[in-house]
Amino acid sequence: MLFIKIDTGVFLFLFDIEPVMVGDYSLQVINGEPNFERTFLTAPQIKRTACDLVAQVASGQQIELPVLLGEWEPNAEINGNWQQDLNANRLPQVAG
């Protein structure tokens, strides 16, 4: 799971890690949940950085937080219902 802050909101996205055998090698394939994939369809750098973070945590590496994922400007034609997708993963605001 990955918490992403966008503007003033915090959003939770889940990721799957699947081991895949290619010959004698085991690779990890990381997939974001559909809302993550659709929301950041026009931001491959954010998707790549997020997957890199998930891979680092899965392999036991320490991460120094916060991590800047990059700039993102949604495209209404390509991203479709990005606001709905994003709001489906919004966490309630915590006072304090």
pTM of the predicted structure, to 2 decimals: 0.78
Burial of 52 (0-12, 13-18, 19+ CB in 10 A): middle
58-70: average pLDDT: 90
Query: What are 20-37's pLDDT values in tens digits?
Result: 999 999 888 998 998 888
Phi, psi of 71 (to 5 degrees): -90, 145
CA 17 to chain centre: 13
Secondary structure of residue 44 in the 3-state scheme = helix
Cα–Cα distance between 14 and 45 in angstroms, integer?
18
- Structure letter (DSSP) for residue 30: E
Please report which confidence band the pLDDT of residue 94 belongs to, taking 50, 70 and 90 as the band edges: low
